[in-house]
Amino acid sequence: MPKKRKAVDFRELAQKCLRCGLCTTVCPVHQVEADEYTAARGRNLLVNQLKGKKDFDRNFRRRFEKCLLCGSCLPQCPQGISIDLLTLGVREEMVRKKGLGLPKSLVFRFAMRDRERFGKILSTACKLQRYLPAGEGKIRHLPAFLSGLGAGRRIPEIAPVFLRNEIQEVSRPPEGIAPRRRVGLFMGCALDYLFPEIGKKMVRFLNRQGVEVVTPMEQGCCALPVIGAGDMDTAKEMALRNMAAFQNLDRVITGCATCGSALKDYDTFFHRASNGRGKLADFVEKVRDFSEFLVRDLDLSPQALASTEGWGKSLRLTYHDPCHLRRYQGITEEPRRIISSIPWVKLVEMDAPDLCCGMGGSFGLSYYETSKKIADKKAAAIQETGAEAVVTTCPGCRMQILDTLRRHGMQQRVLHIVDLLEPDEN
Q: Which positions lie near ligand SF4, rule CB under 6 A? A: 17-23, 26-29, 39-41, 44, 67-73, 76-79, 81, 83-84
Minimum Å distance from CB 21 to ligand SF4? 5
Minimum Å distance from CB 26 to ligand SF4? 6
* Residue of 269, 193, 194 whose CA lies nearest to 234: 269
- Pick between residue 69 and residue 252 the one whose CB is nearest to ligand SF4: 69
- Pick between residue 68 and residue 417 the one whose CB is nearest to ligand SF4: 68
- Pick between residue 24 and residue 207 the one whose CB is nearest to ligand SF4: 24
Minimum Å distance from CB 70 to ligand SF4? 4
- Pick between residue 72 and residue 258 the one whose CB is nearest to ligand SF4: 72
- Pick between residue 23 and residue 185 the one whose CB is nearest to ligand SF4: 23
* Residue of 412, 403, 381, 385 whose CA lies nearest to 28: 381
* Dist CA 23 CA 39 (whole Å): 7
* Residue of 358, 418, 378 whose CA lies nearest to 153: 358
- Pick between residue 27 and residue 339 the one whose CB is nearest to ligand SF4: 27
* Dist CA 360 CA 370 (whole Å): 11
* Dist CA 235 CA 113 (whole Å): 8
* Residue of 360, 324, 359 whose CA lies nearest to 229: 360
Minimum Å distance from CB 176 to ligand SF4? 48
* Dist CA 363 CA 65 (whole Å): 7
Minimum Å distance from CB 372 to ligand SF4? 15
Minimum Å distance from CB 24 to ligand SF4? 7
* Residue of 268, 316, 300 whose CA lies nearest to 412: 316
* Dist CA 391 CA 281 (whole Å): 31
Output the DSSP codes for 143-182. Answer: PGGGGGGTTT-EEEPPPSS-HHHHS-SEEPPPTTS---EE
* Dist CA 109 CA 262 (whole Å): 18
* Dist CA 44 CA 92 (whole Å): 16
Surface-to-core class of residue 34, CB atoms within 10 Å of its CB (0-12 exposed, 13-18 middle, 19+ buried)? exposed
Minimum Å distance from CB 317 to ligand SF4? 26
- Pick between residue 59 and residue 248 the one whose CB is nearest to ligand SF4: 59
The answer to whether residues 21 and 12 touch, using CB atoms and an 8 Å cutoff, is no
CA-atom Rg of the chain in angstroms: 21
The single-letter code of the amino acid at 214 is: V
- Pick between residue 76 and residue 362 the one whose CB is nearest to ligand SF4: 76
Minimum Å distance from CB 63 to ligand SF4? 10
Minimum Å distance from CB 69 to ligand SF4? 5
- Pick between residue 257 and residue 295 the one whose CB is nearest to ligand SF4: 257
The answer to whether residues 71 and 81 touch, using CB atoms and an 8 Å cutoff, is no
